Amino acid sequence: MIRVGLGRDLHRLVQGRRFLLAGVELEADRGELGHSDGDVLAHAVTDAVLGAAGLGDIGALFPPSDPKWKDADSMELLRIAFGKVKEQGWRLQNLDCVVTCETPRLIPYRERIRASLAAALDAGPAAIFVKGKTAEGLGPIGAGEAVDAEAICLLEKIL
User: In what helix (H) or strand (E) does residue 149 lie, and over which residues does it extend?
Assistant: strand 146-157
HSE-CB of 91 using CA atoms within 13 angstroms:
9
User: In what helix (H) or strand (E) does residue 130 lie, and over which residues does it extend?
Assistant: strand 128-133
Quick note: the x/- pattern for Mg ion over 18-57, rule CB under 5 A, is -------------------------x--------------
Min CB(46)–Mg ion separation in Å: 9
As a whole number of angstroms, the distance between CA 32 and CA 40 comes to 7
> Does residue 13 belong to the site contacting Mg ion (CB under 5 A)?
no
| Order of strands across the sheet that contains 2-14 | 31-32, 2-14, 146-157, 90-100, 128-133
User: Of 44 and 106, which has the nearer Cβ to Mg ion?
Assistant: 44
Min CB(156)–Mg ion separation in Å: 27
Q: Binder to Mg ion among 5, 9, 20, 152 (CB under 5 A)?
A: 9
User: Of 47 and 102, which has the nearer Cβ to Mg ion?
Assistant: 47
Min CB(57)–Mg ion separation in Å: 11
As a whole number of angstroms, the distance between CA 4 and CA 22 comes to 20
Min CB(90)–Mg ion separation in Å: 22
By Cβ distance, which residue is nearest to Mg ion? Answer: 43
CB 63 within 8 A of CB 40: no
For Mg ion, the binding residues (CB under 5 A) are 9, 43
